[in-house]
Amino acid sequence: DAGITQSPRHKVTETGTPVTLRCHQTENHRYMYWYRQDPGHGLRLIHYSYGVKDTDKGEVSDGYSVSRSKTEDFLLTLESATSSQTSVYFCAISPLAGTNTGELFFGEGSRLTVL
Amino acid sequence: GQNIDQPTEMTATEGAIVQINCTYQTSGFNGLFWYQQHAGEAPTFLSYNVLDGLEEKGRFSSFLSRSKGYSYLLLKELQMKDSASYLCAVRLRDYKLSFGAGTTVTVRA
């Protein structure tokens, strides 16, 4: 199994508070992703990173920021949480596509509830 | 934007075969993936197609037609443990992976 851990696994917070989710990998993979999963919508990409300090927006990036200062860590920050950001957040990692399929390996997920 | 469609739910009997279809319209195509996700768990990789045709891996097979923007996942000899959501995902040229909403398969005895 790919070495990928997310923290915290569960969090309950109040509207307007900042929240940071951490994704840590031990695989030295180049690509890292943050997705959110909601009923009826499947997995939607928030942000992704293709290297240290190299990030790009996904389809639902409003209200979220990311940082990647080291290969192994990818942080997702909600500057001011809203109830619409209640969701399950998945981090994923992928090796550089080339001779392999470059599939994504997912973390266990972080369940965030914003009251 | 990306448009990836798959049925919401399917039900089948243990030992039977089920085919989950996926159609897509995307800007740029760089491979199609199928993932399995059990309730409350993370998605896990099942199959990958980048060229047209059928890829077989044990009880699971996946087919791709790029000209038709169409793929299917075939699950044979269904087992109770196959009850899960199956996610179709298209990889774009910038290595973003865009997912469909998923198909929940229920296997009944």
- At B20-42, the pLDDT tens digits run 999 999 888 889 999 999 999 99
The pLDDT of B32-53, averaged and rounded, is: 95
> Are B42 and A44 a contacting pair at CB < 8 A?
no
Report pLDDT for A70.
Answer: 95
Share the mean pLDDT of chain B: 94
Backbone angles phi, psi at A83, to 5 degrees: -60, -30
Buried b (16+ CB within 10 A) or exposed e, A15-36: eeeebebebbbeeebbbbbbbb
B99 contacts in chain A (CB < 8 Å)? 35, 42-44
Interface test with A, best of B97, B103, B104 (most A CBs within 10 A): B97
Of A82, A79, A36, A77, whose CA–CA distance to A58 is shortest? A36
For residue A86, how many other CB atoms are within 10 A of its CB? 16
B102 contacts in chain A (CB < 8 Å)? 42
- At A69-90, the pLDDT tens digits run 999 999 999 999 999 999 999 9
The pLDDT of A82-108, averaged and rounded, is: 86
Residue A50 tokens, joined: 């293709």
- Give me the residue from B30, B94, B101 closest to A42, CB to CB: B101
| Cα maximum dimension of chain A | 46
Confidence bin at A41 (pLDDT 50/70/90): confident
Least reliable range by pLDDT among A37-41, A52-56, B69-73: A37-41
- If you count DSSP H runs as helices and E runs as strands, how many of each does chain A have, helices first? 0, 11
For residue B47, how many other CB atoms are within 10 A of its CB? 22
Q: Which residues, in sequence order, are CB contacts of B56 under 8 Å at separation 6+? A: none
Q: Distance between CA atoms of A68 and A75, rounded to whole angstroms?
A: 7
Torsion of CA A51, A56, A58, A62, to 10 degrees: 130
A82/chain B closest Cα distance in angstroms: 23
**Residue B17 pLDDT > 70:** yes
The pLDDT of A35-52, averaged and rounded, is: 93
Answer yes or no: are the C-beta atoms of A26 and A3 closer than 8 Å. Answer: yes
Residue B60 tokens, joined: 């699971």
Report pLDDT for A97.
Answer: 55
The pLDDT of A52-73, averaged and rounded, is: 95
Share the mean pLDDT of chain A: 92
**Chain B residues 11-40 with a CB less than 8 Å from chain A:** 30-31, 33
